[in-house]
């Protein structure tokens, strides 16, 4: 793990890199769909969403390994759509977390999440939050293994998500 941490460069995405971010989201969606997991669909993502995140005060990050883009995540400072009455200003919310499938198994995802957690903590927040589709058992277990606590399930039209949080270490 230490080796990959020292090689990864995690930095804010530039506006002109919006297509790169979009490609990561769509690639992850295609991979999930091939596995029969439909939490993301490639057609759900479009360049306007990417630009909106980059421009609206959200923190959009890219991870590079040997000058190749290998992952992305977004930190937002509010999420009333998903967290509803639990949304608060003491939390940072991790969204659109994705690792290029060509680099799976290297521990990149764990490093990205740890970096996001540290960034949230550095912004004075006391809680780190994320959500994932309730039916994705493997991803739910991954977050629990990384110390996230299950808060509750929410149900939308045609989807369900589990909410997770943890306090920064």
Kindly provide the residue ranges of all beta strands, DSSP E only, lying in 17-148, ordered along the sequence.
59-65, 68-76, 91-99, 127-133
Where in the sequence is the domain holding 56, given as residue range(s)?
A: 2-127
Which CATH number covers residue 18? 3.40.630.30
Residue 97 lies in a domain: yes
Residue 148 lies in a domain: no
Residue 145 lies in a domain: no
pLDDT tens-digit map of 72-110 = 999 999 999 999 999 999 999 999 999 998 888 889 999
Residue 166 lies in a domain: no
pLDDT tens-digit map of 107-157 = 999 999 999 999 999 999 999 999 998 988 888 999 999 999 999 999 988
What global pTM score does this model have? Answer: 0.89
What's the Cα-to-Cα distance from 97 to each of 61, 73, 115, 143, 157, rounded to whole Å?
10, 4, 12, 12, 22
Q: What's the number of domains the chain is made of?
A: 1
């Amino acid at each position: 793990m230490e080796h990959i941490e020292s090689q990864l460069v995690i930095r804010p995405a530039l506006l002109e890199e919006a297509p790169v971010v979009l490609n990561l989201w769509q690639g992850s969606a295609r991979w999930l769909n091939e596995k029969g997991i439909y939490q993301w669909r490639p057609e759900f993502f479009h360049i306007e969403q990417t630009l909106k995140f980059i421009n609206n005060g959200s923190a959009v990050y890219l991870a590079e390994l040997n000058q190749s883009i290998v992952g992305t995540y977004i930190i937002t400072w509010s999420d009333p759509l998903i967290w509803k009455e639990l949304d608060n200003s003491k939390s940072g919310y991790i969204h659109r977390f994705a690792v290029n499938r060509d680099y799976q198994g290297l521990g990149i995802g764990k490093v990205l999440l740890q970096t996001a957690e540290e960034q949230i903590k550095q912004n004075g927040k006391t809680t780190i939050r994320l959500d994932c589709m309730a039916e994705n058992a493997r991803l739910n277990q991954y977050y629990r293994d990384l110390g996230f606590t299950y808060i509750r399930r929410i149900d939308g039209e045609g989807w369900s998500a589990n909410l997770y949080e943890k306090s920064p270490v």
